[in-house]
Amino acid sequence: ATPTALLVGTGRGAQLGILIKGPEVLESTRRVDTVLLDKTGTVTTGRMTLHEVYAADGADASEVLRLAGAVEHASEHPVARAIALGAVERGGKLPEVEDFENVPGRGVQGRVEGHQVAVGRLAEYTAQLPPELARAKAGAEREGRTAVVVGWDGVARGVVAVADAVRETSAEAVRALRALGLTPVLLTGDNRAVAEAVARSVGVEQVIAEVLPEEKAEAVRRLQAEGRSVAMVGDGVNDAAALATADLGLAMGTGTDAAIEAGDLTLVRGDLRVAACAIRLSRRTLATIR
Ligand code: ADP
Ligand code: MG
């Protein structure tokens, strides 16, 4: 029997909801010593909801939300969905957007009612935040909320904070991964303060934050160059390259097809604890067939 047949054959793999691409995957589980955990959708549920809207002095919060919602309506990003839905719930129908543009890992922009509107962490707006907005943004981020800047026609007008819940199973999963001798590291495109708040709440000490989607794979390669053997757990389109680059890629089954295709292994139910089970089970299976 092939190792895969053994693993699945025990029924345990399937019972736990672990899908494995091929027998060679087992071998990599033996060496991995570092596990990179994507934040949004992996350590957290990724089901974001609108939390708070802050307007700059002289701006109107409901107008900030309405225009931000109009642009975000055209995006699939979890931050975008939270803002668009919140805007509809609080304000009703959204205006049309023209010339929509998505900038991966940064935000969105488009023209709404004649204004050139941008939402996200687009440099031209985040660099010149008025003090009241900078304070609101930093406060939300310290609490672990993702805060994005809304601006139009060259002026920052507001900040929208969205809330995402840490999965109930994440802290236990981190303990289980450590028990297997793995060092957990949180990897995210989100702001450093947000990343640190989330990391702290699940017992992770190391954080790599504010990485662009294309830089996630580079973070994996950098650790590999230091001689580490790296497992990566992720769910998003922006995790696909990192999952493929890692020595062991684990995709959340609740995530995107791109992540699932790039991973060596799928955690069907999207339960991070199963990542530790999968590694433990593979190592044990290897020990049995030696
Ligand atoms: P993660 O690594 O946590 O999955 P992403 O790389 O998708 O995050 O995004 C990183 C950051 O870019 C987000 O935290 C947000 O600040 C900003 N961003 C990305 N897409 C959008 C969007 N559609 N609207 C607003 N902000 C966005
Ligand atoms: Mg993610």
What's the confidence (pLDDT) of residue 228? 97
What's the confidence (pLDDT) of residue 214? 87
Distance in Å from the first CA to the final CA of the chain: 13
Lining residues, ligand 1, CB within 6 Å:
39-40, 72, 75, 77, 79-80, 105-108, 119-121, 146, 148, 188-190, 213, 236, 238
Residues 275-290 have pLDDT tens digits of 999 999 888 877 777 6
Q: Which residue has the higher pLDDT, 208 or 11?
A: 208
What's the confidence (pLDDT) of residue 288? 76
CA distances to 106, 128, 175, 217 from 186, rounded to whole Å, are 19, 29, 14, 14
Task: Take residue 206 and report the two structure tokens written for it.
Answer: 């190391």
Which ipTM did the prediction report?
0.94
Distance from the CA of 69 to the center of ligand 1, in angstroms? 15
Decide: 196 and 207 in contact? Cβ < 8 Å: yes
How many H helices and E strands in the chain?
Answer: 13, 13
- Count other C-beta atoms under 10 Å from residue 225's C-beta: 8
Residues 155-179 have pLDDT tens digits of 999 999 999 999 999 999 999 999 9
* 2 — pLDDT class (breaks 50, 70, 90): low
Per-residue pLDDT at 13 exceeds 80: no
* 4 — pLDDT class (breaks 50, 70, 90): low
* 253 — pLDDT class (breaks 50, 70, 90): very high
Out of 43, 79, 125, give the residue to mutate to test ligand 1, the one with the largest number of ligand atoms within 8 Å of its CB.
79
Which listed ligand is nearest to 46 at the C-alpha?
A: 2
What's the confidence (pLDDT) of residue 282? 85
Out of 67, 106, 220, give the residue to mutate to test ligand 1, the one with the largest number of ligand atoms within 8 Å of its CB.
106
Which listed ligand is nearest to 73 at the C-alpha?
A: 1
Mean pLDDT of the chain: 92
Distance from the CA of 144 to the center of ligand 2, in angstroms? 15
All structural domains of the chain: 3-45+166-289 (3.40.50.1000), 49-163 (3.40.1110.10)
Per-residue pLDDT at 219 exceeds 50: yes
Smallest Cα–Cα separation from 68: which of 195, 161, 133?
161
Mean pLDDT, residues 62-86 taken together: 96
Which residues are the active-site residues?
38
Rounded to whole angstroms, the Cα distance separating 201 from 17 reads 26
Distance from the CA of 147 to the center of ligand 1, in angstroms? 10
Residues 49-70 have pLDDT tens digits of 999 999 999 999 999 999 999 9
Out of 77, 186, 210, 233, give the residue to mutate to test ligand 1, the one with the largest number of ligand atoms within 8 Å of its CB.
77
Return the SS3 of 228.
Answer: coil
Residues 102-150 have pLDDT tens digits of 998 899 999 999 999 999 998 788 888 999 999 999 999 999 999 999 9
What's the confidence (pLDDT) of residue 110? 97
Per-residue pLDDT at 191 exceeds 50: yes
Q: What is residue 39's DSSP assignment?
A: I
Rounded to whole angstroms, the Cα distance separating 240 from 232 reads 10
Smallest Cα–Cα separation from 50: which of 84, 86, 21?
86
Rounded to whole angstroms, the Cα distance separating 178 from 181 reads 5
Mean pLDDT, residues 177-204 taken together: 97
The answer to whether the predicted template modeling score (pTM) of the entire model surpasses 0.90 is no
